[in-house]
Structure 1
Amino acid sequence: MNRLKVITTHSNPDFDGFASCVGLKKIYPDFQIVISGNPFQNLSEFLRFYGDFFPFIYENELKGFNGDIEELIIVDTPDIERIGEEIKSKLSSDTKITVIDHHPDIRELNIENKNLNKIIKQTGAATTIVANMLKEKGIKLSNEEASLLGIGIYEDTGSLLFSSTTLEDLEAVIYLFQNGLSLNTVSEYIKFDLTIDQKIVLNNLLQNVKTYNVNNYQITIATAETEKFIGGLAAIVAKFWYAQNVDTLIVIVRMAKKVFITARTKSPDIDLAGLMSVFGGGGHKQAASAKVNIASVEEVEHKILQVLPNYINTGLKAKDIMSSPVRTALATESIEEVNKIMEITGHSGMPVVEGNKLVGIVTKKTVDKALNHGLGKRPIKSIMSSKLITAKLDTPVSVLRKLMIENDIGRIPILDENNILVGIVTRSDIIRAESSPKKSYLEKREEIKTTFNNISHLINERLSRRIVNLLRLIGFFGNEMNSPVYVVGGFVRDLILNIENYDIDIVVEGNGIEFAKYMAQQLNAIVVPYEKFFTANVIFKDGFKIDVATARTEYYESPGELPQVDISTIKKDLYRRDFTINAMAIKLNPQDFGTLYDFFNCQKDLEEGVIRVLHNLSFVEDPTRMIRAVRFEQRYGFKMENYTLDLLKKNLSERYLERVSGSRIRQEIEKILEEKNPIKAIKRMAELDMIKHIFPKTYYTATMEEKFVRLFKFIPYLKERFENFNDFYAVSTIFLEYYDKSTLEEMRAKYGYPKKFIETLKFTENIIIPVKSLIENRYPFSDIYKVCGKSNPYIYSHISAYLDEDEQNYLLSYIDTVLNTRIEKVTGKYLMERYQLKAGPILNNILEELFCLKLDNSNLSEEIAIESIVKKHIEKIEDSSKL
C-alpha cells in the first residue's frame, strides 16, 4: 500500500503558512506540499505568476489516492481542525505528526496522537522558524524561494515593526537576503493592518486619486494632506497598493511642512529610484521614496508629471526575451506524441497549429492529466486551450507580465506583423529578464569611490597671499557661525589644473545669506542677498566679489526653467552641478582646511581630460549644459565621454535646447565668445548639429567657418575703437545672414537684439558685395563712405568676414579715417550766414560732400573747398526753379 508524506498548513493559507511549507520541502524533499481551501488573494496572485517554481497540489487531488498519510508536518497552526478534510481523512493512528508554530499563547494542542512532535517558538512568523532551520543546515535557496519566505516574514511582522518581532526574525531575513530576497517582490504582495490615523490618511488618498497615461503607461497618483506627522506611510501605501491593484502608484502626502513621496510599480520599465532622485530621495527601481521641504502637493505632482517620461524606458520587449524558433504541436498529433516531445525538450507548454495557423496552446500539466486518464491516443487539439492570448514582437515585458497575471497563463505566443508565430515567452523568461535589469548610468561607471585628500599645499603654492588668507578667514567664520564652509566649482577645478581663477564660490551648510552678512561685517564689505535662491554676493571696496550659497539641491518645474531650491548637504549640492570636473569642494574650516571632497571620481576625470555629466537627466534639467560641455571641452582640450555625448545628442534631437529661454542660450554663447579661441567651440557645436537648434535656418559650412576665422581676427581691432562692443551681435551677423524678415523678428524676440541691429543686418546684406569690391580695388575712402556712411561696428564686423588680411587692413584704415576726420571750421550756421542758405537737407548734403573730400585729403582747406561745393548746389537749385 502506498503511503504519503505531506506538508500542509491551515485551510485558506496565507503567505506565512505557504512559505513555511515551501521551506520545509527543501529540508524534506520526499514530502508533498498539499494546500486546502482558497489561498489569500495576494498569495493567489503570487501563485499565478510564480506557481511553477513551487511544486504543490490542492487537497482535492488526494481523492484519487487510496493510501493513508505516513508522515504529516503542519505549519502555522496547532489546530488539526484547521487543516483540510481530505488530509484528515487519510490520517491513521500511527501517522507521525510534527507541528511547527510560532504563536506564543499555545497551551494544549488540539491533536490526539502518540507520535506527535511539537516545535513551538515565539517568533514573529512561522516562516522564521523554517528559515533558521534552513540556515542551520546550510541549504541554499533560489531568488524566488528566498523572496517567498521573505514575504511570509514581512507580512506577519508588519515589515518587522510589530511588537511580536524577535531577533530570530531579523536573523532569518538576513539569511534570506544572502540568498537573493527581493524587496521589490516583497513590497508588491504584503499587506498590513493600519492605525486609526493611518486609516484616515488612506481614506483621503482613496478620495483623491487621478490616473494619467504617460508614454502609454497607466500612472495612478493619490494625494493627501494632514497637519501632523503620521508614521508608517510605507504601510499605508502598501495597503492602497494591495487594495487598488494598480500598475504604478505614486502617493504624495503633505504632513505639516514637509511633503512625502512614496512610489511603487509593477513595471520594470519605470525607474522610480531615478524619479525619486530628482527630489533628493532614492530606493529601488520599482519601489522608492523622497521627502521635499517647502513645497505644495500640487507642485510636487506637477513636477512628477513633468519628469516622469524621462524615467520610463520600454526597455526589453518580447523580441528580446522570446524563444525562437518555436517548437509547435500539430493539432492532429496524439497526446502521447506531444508528451514525448515535451519530455525530450523539457517544454512545459507548446502552441498548437493547424494548417499553418495558431489554434491553441497546451500545457504539460494538461497532457499529464490526459495520460493518467488513458487518453494518450487522442489528438492534442482535444485537450488544448483555445483561449489564445498573444502579443507582438514590440510588446514590452511589463505588458507581457500583466497579461500572464490577468489571464492566469504561463506562456504567450509572439506574432509578427503578419500574425505569423515567431516566438514564445514564458514566465521564466520574464522573471529572468526582470532579475537582470539594465544598469543605471552611475552603475555603468566603474566603482565610484569617495575621496578626501588634503591639498592645502596647492592652495599655498598656487594662490596669492591675499586669497589664501581670505580662504582661511572664511573657514574661521564658518566655525564661529557653527557651519561647515567650502569653496567649490570652477575655482577648485582650476586650482588643481594650476590655472589662475579668482572667481570664488562659497557653499555653506547652513544659512548662506546669514553667513554672507556675517562675513561682510567682519571684512567691511557689502552684501547683496538673493533670498529666492538662498545666495548672496559679498563685494569688497576694490570691486573684488565672492559668491556665497546655501548647500542645496535643485529640482526643475519643467526642462529648461530656472531651478527651485531646497536646503541640502554638500554632497547633494555637488551632485546637482553640471559636470564631474566642476563637482569638487575644498573645506575651509580650520580643522579640515584644504580637504578636497571628491564624491564622484572627479579628479580622475580631470586627470584624463573627460567631460562627464553626473546623472542621466543633467541635460534635460538644464539644456544649456550642452553648450557648456562644448565650452569646457574646447577650453581645456578635453573630450566628452561616450555616454555623456550620447545623452547630449539624444536630448538635442529631442529639442530640449529649444525649451530654454533665449537669454540663457545667449549667455552661454557669450561665455564661449570670451574664450581665447571661440572658433573651436563654434566648430564643435556645428559638428554636433547644435547650431541649428540655436539658429534654426543656419547651415554651417566651410565657407561660413572661413567667415568666422576672418571675423575673429578683426574683432579685437573693433573693440579698440568702439566702446561696449558686443561679440554676440558681431557673430550673429554671420549666423543670421540672409534670414527672412519674419524669422529675424523671431530671433530678435528670443535673443533680445535691438530693432536697429536687425535693420543694420539687412542693410549690410545689400551693400556687402559692392563694398568688398571697392576695398579690393582700393577705391578712395570717399567712395566707400558714400555706400557705408558712418557705420556702426557691426556693419564693419560683417564686412570684415568677407575680406582677406590686406583688405581688412584697408577697411581698418578707412574706419580710423572716418572716426578721426572732423569738419572744424565750416558749420551749418557758417553756411547760412555766408551764403544766405536756408536750414534744411541742403546744408547736410553740402557738409557731407565736404566730409568726403576731407576723407581723401586730410590737409584740405575747408574754406576754399566749400566755395565750389556751395556754388554747385546753388546752381542746381536755380536750374530746378527754372523748370
Structure 2
Amino acid sequence: MDVITTHLNADFDTIASMLAACKIYPEAVCVLPGSQEETVKGFLVQSAFYNLPMRKPREIDLDKVTRLILVDIRSRGRIGIFGELIGRPGVPVHVYDHHPDEDSDVKGDVEVIRRVGSTTTILVQILKERGIPIAPDEATVMMLGIYEDTGSLSFPSTTVDDYLAAAHLLSCGAKLAQVSDILARDLTSGQISLLYDLIQGTRTYTIRGVEVVIAEARREEYVGDLALLVHKLRDMEAVSILFVICQMGDRVVLVGRSRKPEVDAAAVMREFGGGGHAYAASATVKDVTTFQIRERILRVLDEKVIPRRSAEDVMASPARTVDAGDTILEVHQALSRSNINAVPVTRGGAVVGILTRQVVEKALYHGLGEERAGEYMNADYETAAPDTEIERVQEIIIGKNQRLVPVLRGTELVGVITRTGLLRFLYDMRDVEIPGEGEDVDAEGAMAPRKNVANLMRDRLPARVLALLRAAGECAESLEMKAFAVGGFVRDIMMRVENLDVDIVVEGDGIRFAEAFAEEQGARVRPHHKFGTAVMVFPDGFKLDVATARVEYYLKPAALPTVEYSSLKQDMYRRDFVINTLAVRLSPEGFGEVIDFFGAQRDIKEKIIRVLHSLSFVEDPTRILRAMRFERRFGFTVGRHTLNLIRNAVRLDLLSKIPKPRLYSELELILKENDPVSIIRRLSELGLGTSIHPALMLEKPHLALLGEAQEVLAWFSLLFLEEKVEKWAVSFLALLDPLSPNDAKKLAKDLGVRSRVREWVRICKDEGESAILQLISMTSISRKMIHDVLSPLPTEVILYMMARSKHPDIKRYISLYFTQLKNVRLQVKGQDLLDLGYRPGPLFKKIFDLLLERKLAGDLRNKKEEIAFLLSRFPLPQNRDVPENSR
C-alpha cells in the first residue's frame, strides 16, 4: 500500500499537494496525520476533498505500507505515526518539498526539492511535464495551494515557476472566483477577542541588541486560524520579530514570524518540536504553561540570535595608509595600486586625517604633486571603535558625508569602513520584507553574507577534506589568524560541481600558518616567500594551496604583479572574475559562512561572467582566454561590459605582449576542456588566433580539423578505455596544423611546451606527411606494411594524422592498426632462436620479419605455431635436434 501524507497542521498547500500527488501515484491513499486550519477543515467538509481515498491514521496498518510519499514536509518529527516508517527496510520514501534544508531532514529514495513559493507548484510542474490531465475542480484546489503559500503570487518568495504553474492551472479551468471566496477570511468574534488579548499581552525584549516582541494569551476553547491573527498583530504593531504564545485548553500553540536575518524563526520552533521557514514557523506543545514557554523562548533566543553587527564586522583590515609626509603624487600611486578611493593619513603611526582620490587628483591637476599629504588631508573627521553600532557608522558616512571611517582601538588603527563597504553591507543585511508566510530568502542574493554552506560542504566533499578544512580554521585561530577557503573551489561548491583543488587564504602570515598546520598534519611545505604563498603536500599526495591575503598591482600592462599583504576583501578584488570572489569562513565559529563582497552569488545565479574592474584585461590579458573557457564550461554568458573590454584588449593586441609560456598555460587548459572546439571557435570570433601566431587565423577549415580531432578522440576513447593518451595534445597538434614545420617547432619551443610534446610536433611536421604518402602510394598494402609505417609513431601523432587525412583508406588503415595490429607481439624471442640452434646474424631479422608478417595476418596464434612455422621455413641442419621445451 502506498501512503501519501504531510505535516501535522495541514494548510491549503499541503491539501493541494496531496491531491496532485494522488494523480502521480493513483494507487495511493491519503492520510492527514494531524489537525487542519479552520478554513481548511471547513473546505474539506464541504468538498469531501473531491472523493480522494482519504484515511485516518488509525485506519493504517504500518506493516502493510510499501511506499511512503511525503509532500510539503521533510521532518520525521512532524508526520505523526508515519515517522516510524522512516528507515524501515522495504519502505522507500519519496519526498516533494519546497522548505529550506535542515540537518534533521528525511533523506528520500526519490527527492524533488525546489526553492519555489509552494510545494503544489512542484507537483503541478511534474503533472504538466508528464501530460497528466487536471480537471477544473482539481485545478481550483491546486490554485488554492499556490495562492495561499504565495500570497496570491505577491510574496517575495514567489518565483517564475509559481506563475507558470498557476497559468497552467488556469488553462485547465481553475476558478479564481472560488479561490478568492475561500481565501477571504473575515474574523469571527472569538478571533477578534483573542487578537485584543494578544495586543494587551505584548511585551518587548532586547536580546543581544535585537528587539523581539512576545505576545501571550489564554483560551479554554480552541480558536482557529491563529496564523491569520499573528499577521494582523504584526502589521498593526509594526513588529519585525514576533513570537505568539497562545494556550488553548491543554496545549500551547506557538507561532513565530521574523523579518530580520538576526532571528531564524524555524530554528526557535525546532526547539519545541515544530518547524517551518526562517521567516515563518510554528509548533504545538502540551502540558506546559505559557510562562514556561516564554522563558524557554528567551533562553533559546539568547543562544541563537545573531548579534547586531558592529564596526568590527564591516571594516576592512588591515587598513591601507599613507604618511602625512608622503607627496601627493606618491599618495595617488598608492591609491591606484590598491584600487581604493580614500585612505587614512598617519603621522608617527597615529591617524591624523583622511585623503580622498578626488582631492588628490585635483591637486595633481593644479600641479601640486610634490606637496605633502598632510597639507591637503581632511583633519576634521570622525572615527569608530570596533564595537560601534552600524547605525552610528551609517550616520557618519551618509549623514555627514565622510567617505571613509577609521576604526580605532584606542589610538591603534585596526581597520577602515568605506562608503562602498557600508552600502554593500546595508544591501546584504537589509530587512526581509515579508507580507505573509510565503517569503523565501533568495539563496543566491540578498542574504549572501548570512548564507552558510557547511551542510552543503558535508554533502559534496570527502570526509577527509572537510576535516582538513575544519582543522585549518582551528589552526589559524590558535595563531590569531583567520583562514578562508576561496575562489573556484567555493564557486564549484555553490554550483554543485566537483572540485578538490582547494585554495586557502589567510589574514595573517600564510607561510607561518602553512608551516604550523603542516607540522600538525604531518605534511610537507613548499613556501614561496616572494608571494607569501605555500603548497602543503600530504603523505597521500593531496595538496592544499595557502596564500597570505594580498593585493597585487601591475607596473605596466601584461607584466607580472607586484605583491603587498592586505585583507581578504583586497585579496578577492585582485581575482579575475566576480564568480571567483567567493570565500567561506573556516574559523570554528561561523564555519561554512559564505563571504561575498562583490555579488558573486548573483552572477552565478544569473550565469554571467564579469570582471571586477575595467583594467582587468590590461593588467592580465590571459584572463581573456579564461573568460572564454569559463563561458563554455559553465554555459554562462560574458557580460556586455566585459565583452567590450575583451574587444578593446584584442584591438590593443595585449595577448601578444605577454610571455608565451603564460599564454600556453591557459591554452593547455582550454584544450583539456570537454569541448575545446567551441572555445576556440569563440576565440576565432574575437580574432584571438593571431595573438598566438600570425598564421593562426582559425578559419573554418582549421576549425573543422579541430572538430574532426575531437571525433577521432571520442572514437578512440570508446575502443581503448585502458590505453592512456594525452587527448589535449592531439588537439594541440591540430591547432598547429596551418604552420610550416619551422614555425610550428619554433612556436612549440617559445611556448615552453614539454619536450615530449615538442617531439610530437617535430614528428608530425617532419615524418607525418611522408608516412601518409607512403601508405597512399602503395598499390597493394599488407597488414605488415601498415604496422611498419605506424608502429614507430606516438599514438597522439597517429590520431592527429587520422583526423587530418581526408583519404578514406588512411582512416581505414589507422583504424585497422589500432583495433588489430598495434598490440600484436611475437612470443618467440632471440633466445629461443639460439636455443633452437640458429646462429646470430642477418637471418634473425629475416626470421622475425616473416614471423611478424604471418602473425599480423592471423596465421600464427601461439608460440608453438610460431616455432613450427619457423622450422618449416628455416629448417635446421640434419644433426641438430629441437629442444624438448620448444616442441
* TM-score, normalised relative to structure 1: 0.46
Q: Which has the larger radius of gyration?
A: 1
* TM-score, normalised relative to structure 2: 0.46
